[in-house]
Chain A
Amino acid sequence: MMSQNVSLTRDERRALEALMDTLLPGGNGFPAATATGMSELLLVRLAALDPAMPAQLLAMADTGHGQPADEAGWREVAYRIEVISPRLFDAFRKEVFLAYYQQPAVIAAIRTLGIDYNDKPLPEGYPDAHFVPELDTPSHRRGKWIPTNEVQRVDLNGLDLGDMT
């Protein structure tokens, strides 16, 4: 990813990073968003998605008295964006989540849950599975189909289907 596409002051960058960590703080063995080193990647993606998005988020983060001073204040900002500009918030959250879950530190955290999880689909895949006939073949005899020459007219009386044009 090329960083020169993103032109932000240090304070602006810090503000967006605070918003990232508000959405994904550390906990349960998972790192906070910025602790994964994803900030630059995310900022580039946001700019690629909509060059105006960083500025829109920053404008929403400005409470009129500057930016929040603590985590509670940032949570208030995030709630406000979610309510007032849901499309902006949805797009931001989606980008934050997608960037986060590709980070090596996050993949390592997933593995600590006991989940066999590759950082990318190939080349490894998950090949150690087979169809086990005695276990996986349905034993039920349910299921029906109507042969062509047995398709019958159904009674539509009682079905008000409205405009069918």
Chain B
Amino acid sequence: MNKPDHADVVVVGAGASGVINSLVLAEAGLKVVCLDQGGWTQPAQHPHFSQDFQYQRHNRWSPEPALRRGADDYPVEGSQSHAYMWNGVGGSTNIFAALWPRFRPSDFRKGTEHGLAPDWPITYEDLAPFYDAADRMIGVSGLAGDPGMPPAAPYPCGPLPLRESGRAIARGFDKLGWHWWPMPAGVISESRDGRAACNGCGNCASGCPRGSMAKMSTTLWPRALSAGVDLRPKSRVERIETGPDGRASGVVYIDRTTGDRVLQTADIVIIAGNGVGSPRLLLLSESARHPNGLSNSNDVVGRYLLHHTLVAAEIWVDDKIDTHMGNSGAVISSQFAETDVARGFVNGFNFNVVRTGPAGAAAIGSFGRRPAPWGEAHHGWFTRHFSHSFGAYAIGDDLPRASNRITLSATERDQDGLAAAKLHYTPCANDIRMMHYGMERLRDLARAVNAFDVAVTDYYENGVYRTPAWHLLGTCRMGDNPATSVTNKYHQCWEVPNVYVCDASSFVTGGVVNPTSTVTALALRCATNIVKNSHNLGRLMTTANHCD
């Protein structure tokens, strides 16, 4: 086994959290190695320059590894949820929509509010300065002053164009008397740091080869490499090693280029592998001392998987609104974000109103899950419908349940022989009520814009809720209580103090928004805390408040 030089920190995963942790720690002078099982995705590899770009979205550029069938991926077994992710430098920012709303203060206080989920061990106020700082690092675009959110620093870039599609939607919300606001986005509206401003190409779903979106391989990774991070793509970590003192000594990974096994020792291990990959790695790291997997004597690792409740509608209006143009996110509404038990459920949901994309997507019904008719009616349908629709998601805060979880597959393996992840997820009664309520409100929105057609989907397939699960959350949650969480509020594992888990698996609840802005804020907070303690890396202990 190869044994390169010892590092201060080894980071597992080169996505949004991995790059921010790596960057901050390297700029603080620490020797950082970052490992990712996948490779680089070069701009020319994106499908944007090819006429078959819509076909590629359903094959090699599918967000679903099971369809993509790439060597960098690992299987996710299970018939519930379509687990979406990208394994490679930049992680899932290679394929995300870069919607960038923040959590709300109440999202951190669901234990106080109803007790069906715990409080986070941190508050919105703890995280707010890191939201602001991460936004500045990344170049977030938005309009300040949303009365539906706490005051915050101005966005570093002005809002993206609302376009006719956004204006049509806004008129509907105004007619209903509902809140709306231009969607904050991890997409630059003006050129910055050598990156070109968004030109509204309309294909955010397959990433951004221009570098306008916050695709981390083109935004922060160049800076991290300049800071001295030793990034090693095609390096699949198979386990975290622990020493006789119970602390992690490093990781063993497979160099997927040479096939060699490598032991990378380090004072600190940071796992940033997403809500499936991070618990998978802890579970793969079982040993005589940790028979249930690393830091899992309480059997919490992998549990409390959250995706968000999701229902959606494609809504067609008479006006031609060109929804194949522009960045994905148009408008957000937090009208129903807070709990109102009079609705019959706890928690709430946001509307994410998005553009619906190009002609092929319209024909196959990619948003509303209702394909265009075939035969003689097809072209009349297309002429009437294409360029006349917008899409609205009702994205809700699902309740964390122990039975929704990631485990290791007993039968499936990745290409290096490591056990695949197995996913189990079913929505509870509260989630289902919220979804039904959300669908009715989507129909209200359709009526308010005088829609001539609407397709509402609940994402059930043959009786099974199979949500498009872009959001993989909660599976290594933080907390104040070692019995019910995996890490403390600084992402340190309770049982192995020099192992940190920092990504969306750290979430305690899912909020009502896309998670990446919160992932980046948490990562910045995590790294900042490690820097504060960098004089003491080898001796850190896990307590609830070691840094306060």
A residues engaging B (CB < 8 A)? Answer: 22-30, 45, 75, 78, 90, 93-94, 97-102, 104, 106-107, 110, 113-127, 129-132, 135-138, 140-148, 151-156, 158-165
Contacts and interface: CB of A to CB of B under 8 A. Distances in A.
A145 B114 contact: no
Interface in B55-114: 55, 58, 104-106, 108-109, 112-114
Contacts of A28: 379-380, 382-383
A21 B372 CA distance: 15
B159 A115 contact: no
A142 to B, nearest CB: 4
Interface of B: 48-55, 58, 104-106, 108-109, 112-116, 123-125, 143, 146-150, 158-163, 166-167, 170, 174, 177-182, 189, 198-203, 209-210, 320, 322, 324-326, 334-335, 337-339, 341, 344-346, 358-360, 363-364, 371-372, 374-376, 378-380, 382-383, 386-387, 399, 401-403, 428-430
B55 A102 contact: yes
A14 B167 CA distance: 48
B401 A126 contact: no
Nearest to A148: B105
B360 A101 contact: yes
A145 B113 contact: no
The 4 closest A-B pairs by CB, nearest first: A143-B148, A125-B199, A28-B379, A143-B147
A101 B344 contact: no
Given A78-B375, A147-B150, A155 B341 contact: yes
Contacts of B174: 140
Nearest to B126: A148
16 contacts: A97-B363, A97-B372, A98-B55, A99-B55, A116-B322, A122-B48, A125-B202, A129-B161, A135-B167, A136-B182, A144-B179, A145-B106, A146-B106, A151-B106, A154-B341, A164-B116
Contacts of A98: 54-55, 58, 360, 363-364
B380 A24 contact: no
B202 A126 contact: yes
Contacts of B53: 102, 120-121
A131 B189 contact: yes
Nearest to B206: A121
B71 to A, nearest CB: 17
Contacts of A26: 379
Kindly name the residue among A22, A100, A131 whose own CB sees the greatest number of chain B CB atoms within 10 A: A131
A42 to B, nearest CB: 10
A119 B112 CA distance: 53
Contacts of B158: 131
Given A136-B166, A145-B148, 14 more contacts: A93-B374, A120-B51, A122-B48, A125-B198, A131-B143, A132-B162, A136-B162, A136-B182, A147-B105, A148-B106, A153-B114, A154-B114, A154-B346, A156-B114
Contacts of A97: 360, 363-364, 371-372
A114 B372 contact: no
A145 B150 contact: yes
Contacts, number: 230
Contact of A127 (B178, B199, B371, B430): B199
Given A161-B428, A163-B428, A143 B161 contact: no
B147 A142 contact: yes
Nearest to A125: B199
B344 A143 contact: no
B430 A126 contact: no
Nearest to B379: A28
A82 B162 CA distance: 40
Nearest to B400: A164
A15 B200 CA distance: 41
A122 B346 contact: no
B166 A153 contact: no
B112 A156 contact: no
Contact of A110 (B55, B359, B428): B359
Contacts of A141: 147
Nearest to A82: B374
A114 B429 CA distance: 47
Contact of B160 (A126, A131, A142): A131
Contacts of B178: 142
Contacts of A22: 374-375
A143 B335 CA distance: 7
Nearest to B345: A159
A24 to B, nearest CB: 6
A161 B341 CA distance: 12
A152 to B, nearest CB: 7
Contact of B375 (A45, A75, A130): A75
Contacts of B125: 148
A144 B341 contact: no
B326 A148 contact: no
Contacts of A107: 359
Contacts of A23: 374-375, 378
Contact of A146 (B170, B324, B338): B338
Contact of A153 (B112, B148, B380, B383): B112
A94 B326 CA distance: 24
B48 A115 contact: no
Nearest to B54: A98
A101 B54 contact: yes
A154 B339 contact: yes
Contacts of A94: 58, 364, 371
B428 A129 contact: no
A120 B331 CA distance: 25
A162 B94 CA distance: 39
A138 B163 CA distance: 14
A58 to B, nearest CB: 18
A22 B325 CA distance: 31
Contacts of A159: 341, 344-346, 430
